[in-house]
Amino acid sequence: MINTLQNFVKRNRYKIAIFGLMASASLMCILLVAARIAYSDSGRYTGLVWNLFLAWIPFVLSYFAYAFSWKKPLLYFVLPVMVFLWLIFFPNAPYILTDLQHLAKESYNTPLWYDVIVMVWFSWTGLLLGLVSLYLMHDIVQRTFGRWVGWAFVLFVSGLSSFGVYLGRFVRFNSWDILNDPKEIVVSVLGLAIDPTKRLVAFTVLFTVFYLFVYLTLYSFAHLLQEQSAPPSKPA
């Protein structure tokens, strides 16, 4: 028993490490907001904690999906539901980036630089939660359907999630609206998609490209680590 557990931890130690890192980063974010409340007596930025919680949902879902993905029958039956749920909640993670715009509302009780640091902590934690969960899903898709499908999946998800961020930020939809009242949501989203405004197009495109850039950079950076750990055959 202990042996299996040991094996499990050893085999998944970096996944566990990332989980721990993200948990402590979230804790740090909450502490920073608590310090802000204690200092200024205003409840601003408590909404961020809720948004961070929402960003954790796709992260946890992807860990589950990943654990299930090694069992063949589960892969085919449970996974599509998981992926769908994940896709609905996924935009919450990059959404936190757009909370940076709250900096524009002046606050007189705390210095601006402190608010900048708080926002930086929150938005980067949210984005990293999203990137790691996207990577886990990417890995599942790649293993099951091959390399090209994997990258098509990443492209598709980044586009869709940027649209989701737009819907959350400007149309004020929530993830669970689609579970509560799917028909109305589908109709209004189709309406937006058929007749997009300039703002929608510009925002979605810029956000998608940004997201892809960060994902690709992290992905190649991770491989650079592998490249580096073995010294080059002939010294340059």
Q: Which residue has the tokens 């998609």?
A: 193
Tokens representing residue 38 in the block:
């204690």
Distance CA 8, CA 48 (A): 34
Q: Does 190 bind other proteins (CB under 8 A)?
A: no
Torsion of CA 74, 75, 81, 82, to 10 degrees: 100
Nearest distance, CB of residue 181 and other proteins, angstroms:
27
Tokens representing residue 198 in the block:
């300039």
Q: Does 210 bind other proteins (CB under 8 A)?
A: yes
Nearest distance, CB of residue 206 and other proteins, angstroms:
5
Q: Does 114 bind other proteins (CB under 8 A)?
A: yes
Helix axes 112-145, 198-229, angle to 10 degrees: 70
Contact characters 143-182, other proteins, x per CB under 8 A: x-------------------------x-------------
Helix axes 112-145, 46-68, angle to 10 degrees: 20
Residues 9-28 contacting other proteins, CB under 8 A = 11-15, 17-18, 21-22, 24-25, 28
C-alpha distance from residue 3 to each of 8, 9, 12, 137 (Å): 9, 10, 14, 29
Give the number of other Cβ atoms within 10 Å of residue 82's Cβ. 20
* Residue 112 one-letter amino acid: L
Q: Which of 23, 117, 186, 190 binds other proteins (CB under 8 A)?
A: 117
Nearer to other proteins, 180 or 229 (CB): 229
Nearer to other proteins, 86 or 203 (CB): 203
Nearest distance, CB of residue 67 and other proteins, angstroms:
13
Binding residues for other proteins (CB under 8 A)? 11-15, 17-18, 21-22, 24-25, 28, 32, 70, 97-98, 100-101, 103-104, 106, 111-117, 119-121, 124, 128, 131-132, 135, 139, 143, 169, 199, 202-203, 206-207, 209-210, 213-214, 216-228, 231-233, 235-236
